[in-house]
Amino acid sequence: MVAGYIGQTATKVDELVKTALDGVLFIDEAYALSPGESGSDFGSEAIDVLLKRMEDHRDRLVVIVAGYTDEMSSFIDSNPGLKSRFNRYFYFSDYTPEELTAIFNKLCTKSHFVLTPEAQTQLETLLERLYLNRDRTFGNARLVRNLFEKTIERQANRLAVLSSLPDEVLTTLLPADIPTQP
């Protein structure tokens, strides 16, 4: 939404709003638009133009902003017009360890990998520990995706020394492949 020069941002926001008319404009990590300590006018310009277009097209446009709870509260408080236009809030709970495990297993299935029962148990233990120790930056599905990618990397490093690689070996994930940290 933000361009390289003051003045270009307005054009960029206008274009985005036009593409979203009669639909939804979704802005993830919207808090990045609020100037905060950086003092950047680019985000402020985007917010000002967005607020005007929301009012001009209030019957044809839905705008959804999303992000971490604390940062979004600061974003809404950064401009008086935001609070009156964004007055419905939805809070989503973090995925449970079981849901995180299901996401990991779905990534495995999609990529044709199979966890041994021991690797499955190690994964479940890791995700339970990560969930119990989560903080406000807990990444949910992103955490699982990163964990999956590290698991595949560890498996590749383990297999690199083998000369014979039948399909079963290439697609099986062992406990040694599961990292202890994401």
Q: Taking residues 46-64, what's their average pLDDT?
A: 93
Average pLDDT in the chain: 91
Given a cut of 80, whether residue 39 has pLDDT beyond it is no
Identify the domain containing residue 113 by its residue range.
97-177
Based on the domain organization, do 119 and 139 belong to the same domain? yes
Whether 91 maps to a domain, the answer reads no
Number of domain units in the chain: 2
**Counting Cβ atoms within 10 Å, is residue 156 exposed (0-12), middle (13-18) or buried (19+)?**
exposed
Whether 142 maps to a domain, the answer reads yes
Whichever domain contains 63, its CATH number is 3.40.50.300
| Predicted confidence (pLDDT) per residue in 110-156, tens digit | 999 999 999 999 999 999 999 999 988 888 899 999 999 999 999 99
pTM, entire model: 0.76
Closest alpha carbon to 2 in 35, 46, 50? 46
Q: Which amino acid is at 101?
A: T
Given a cut of 60, whether residue 8 has pLDDT beyond it is yes
Per-residue pLDDT band at 36 (split at 50, 70, 90): low
